[in-house]
Amino acid sequence: MSSRMRRGGPRKVEAALAGKSDLSSERRWRSLSKNLLDRLPLPFAVKAVILAGLVLGEQALEEAIVGPQAGATAISRVTVRLAVPTLAVYILLTERLVKRSVVRALVHLRPSILIEDEEYEETVRRMIFLPAAVDIGLALLALVLILTLFVIMDSPPPIGGPLNMPSNPLAAGYIVFTYSLLGWLGLRLIYTGVRDATGFGRLARKPLLVNLYDPENLLPFGSISLLHSLVLAGVIVIPLVMLGQPSSAASLILITLNTLGSLMALILPLVGVYRQMRGAKIQTLGLISTQLMAAQNALIQLLDPQSESVADLNARATALVTLRKTILESPNWPFRSTTAVIRAVVAAMSPLIYFILIEITRAYLVPVLIR
């Protein structure tokens, strides 16, 4: 064996073992995160097509029952009826994206969470595992809610105007089943979002490996929180884009609550990370201030201003000041810069911002253009 191989061998073996361990953890946790829908023996693309077909067929049935709306063009009616299938497929796709992203983030974060492997494994299991009983319970809850709204309270569907439930039991069952399926997906999205937020918040309160000069190892905290926030914002933005501006006070309240929920999904899991990053900065800045004070006292006490010690002390003070500036400019949140933090907050508030901009355009700009 050559000396080159002997020198590089142990490091390469260690890196290979770490890579295999990460891959094994990712596979194990990805399998653990599967829900009832994931365990159906069908490719994901087939499930998405079936879901879109079910919802699209239900919307076509509603359109046939309601009939043409006064003043509604064919294009606007088609757009309205495509909103629910689009939202259903969006929820299904984002659920898959979030689950995979969460698992990758947990693998990436493992070296930066300074706890025992057994404790980390248990925390991860509680975060990503969805018991079948809970999944079935969410499905039953969605069914109860839909039956209460459509059958007991005789409320109209959220999209498409008033609808009298058909007397045909098969048609009525099809409508109730489809909306129950959508409700199940929506409730599960909310449940997993809350579960992930609390789980990452729990991890953020554990001792973290904080690098003041490069937050790369903690960036998954920020990326996952932003992803959850954007997914929640998309649930409102899609109907806003496809259906236009809501006019009722209840819709405005829903948009406001969704925006607040999106902000909470972004910020709450990061509070522990912020405290530890901020604490590490304050501690390091305190040490630098102490060193600067010592350098200042040494400069004042020197009798010969031409001595070499003055140059050394001046260089040291300059380096400390530069270091202090670098630390002050480093982010307090697990994002690469303060600009990234601002972009994340704006993205989380996008439903409310979009609504406000459209209302301003409609109230002030449109009247000027049509004069």
Q: Mind listing the pLDDT tens digit for each residue in 117-139?
A: 999 999 999 999 999 999 999 99
Where does residue 204 rank: exposed (0-12), middle (13-18), buried (19+ CB within 10 A)? buried
pLDDT at 6: 43
33 pLDDT higher than 80: yes
Q: Mind listing the pLDDT tens digit for each residue in 264-315?
A: 888 888 999 999 999 999 999 999 999 999 888 887 777 566 665 777 888 8
- Segment 159-181 shows an average pLDDT of 81
pLDDT at 156: 65
209 pLDDT higher than 60: yes
206 pLDDT higher than 90: yes
Distance in angstroms (rounded) separating the CA atoms of residues 78 and 66: 13
pLDDT at 214: 87
Question: CA 188, 31, 126: angle at the middle one, nearest 5?
Answer: 60
pLDDT at 54: 95
pLDDT at 274: 93
46 pLDDT higher than 90: yes
pLDDT at 324: 92
Band the pLDDT of 111: cuts 50, 70, 90: very high
Band the pLDDT of 5: cuts 50, 70, 90: very low
Q: Give the chain's mean pLDDT.
A: 83
pLDDT at 307: 62
Band the pLDDT of 112: cuts 50, 70, 90: very high
Q: What is the DSSP letter of 306?
A: T
Distance in angstroms (rounded) separating the CA atoms of residues 78 and 63: 9
pLDDT at 317: 87
Q: What are the residues whose beta carbons fall under 8 Å from the beta carbon of 161, sequence distance 6 or more?
A: 66, 69
- Alpha carbon separation from 39 to 33, 197, 204 (Å, rounded): 10, 24, 31
3 pLDDT higher than 60: no
pLDDT at 267: 87
Q: Mind listing the pLDDT tens digit for each residue in 233-273?
A: 888 888 877 776 665 555 666 677 777 778 888 888 899 99
Band the pLDDT of 2: cuts 50, 70, 90: very low
- Alpha carbon separation from 297 to 284, 289, 293 (Å, rounded): 20, 12, 6
Q: What percent of the chain has pLDDT above 70?
A: 83
Most confident among 163-177, 242-256, 356-370 (mean pLDDT): 163-177
Q: What percent of the chain has pLDDT above 90?
A: 39
Higher pLDDT, 41 or 262: 41
Higher pLDDT, 365 or 8: 365
Q: Mind listing the pLDDT tens digit for each residue in 66-81?
A: 776 655 677 878 888 8
Distance in angstroms (rounded) separating the CA atoms of residues 234 and 166: 32
pLDDT at 14: 44
Band the pLDDT of 21: cuts 50, 70, 90: low
Distance in angstroms (rounded) separating the CA atoms of residues 182 and 61: 16
Higher pLDDT, 251 or 205: 205
